[in-house]
């Protein structure tokens, strides 16, 4: 699959508007039809970094992350994506309801799955980032699959 172009917008406000239009008001689904929901607040978590890796986000937009914004939908829609279980830091274990999706190099998209009122899977966007320092560890995680996720919920 061809890597999508980098998104080059003039301002933080333009990136925020693009995110809200494409993701918060769009109908984004995974390749197998799981609807992924995005909230406006997700922008701040996904597109600002913690330079000291202490959880305190910078007040400056991360252009490295923002320019890859359109990669989120492309990653989720790709049937050849590598899917891994996410790490639950609070519990100190892998969580089958968290899915880390990788298609384009070290770029990861993290979603958290749950069941809707009909009992089928839905997902909420958690974050996306270039996993330069952690890609090896992520790729050693247990593989994610829908059946394990359903059983865990």
Beta bridge partners of 129: 108
Domain contains 7: no
pLDDT for position 77: 96
Burial of 60 per CB tally in 10 Å (0-12, 13-18, 19+): exposed
Domain contains 2: no
pLDDT tens track for 74-106? 999 999 999 999 998 899 999 999 999 999 999
Domain contains 5: no
- Tokens for 20? 């809200």
Q: What is the C-alpha separation between 116 and 127, in angstroms, rounded?
A: 21
pLDDT for position 99: 97
Q: What is the C-alpha separation between 113 and 72, in angstroms, rounded?
A: 16
Residue 149: helix, strand or coil by DSSP?
helix
Q: In what order do the strands lie in the sheet with 82-88?
A: 35-37, 121-130, 107-115, 93-102, 82-88
Domain contains 45: yes
Domain contains 1: no
Q: What is the number of domains present in the chain?
A: 1
- Tokens for 132? 């330069």
Residues (pLDDT < 70) of the chain are 50-59
pLDDT for position 152: 86
- Tokens for 77? 């829609």
Query: Which range of residues forms the domain containing residue 72?
Result: 12-152
């Amino acid at each position: 699959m061809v890597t999508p172009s980098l998104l080059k917008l003039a301002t933080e406000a333009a990136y925020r508007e693009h995110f809200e239009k494409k993701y918060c008001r769009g109908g984004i689904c995974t390749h197998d039809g799981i609807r992924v929901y995005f909230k406006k607040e997700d922008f701040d978590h996904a597109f600002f970094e913690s330079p000291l890796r202490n959880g305190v986000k910078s007040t400056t937009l991360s252009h490295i992350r923002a320019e890859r914004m359109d990669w989120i939908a492309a990653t989720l829609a790709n049937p050849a994506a590598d899917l891994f279980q996410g790490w639950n830091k609070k519990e100190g274990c892998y969580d089958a309801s968290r899915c880390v999706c990788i298609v384009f190099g070290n770029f990861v998209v993290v979603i958290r799955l749950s069941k809707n009122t009909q009992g089928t899977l839905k997902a909420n966007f958690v974050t996306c980032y270039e996993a330069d320092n952690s890609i090896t560890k992520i790729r050693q995680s247990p593989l994610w699959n829908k059946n394990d996720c359903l059983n865990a919920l």
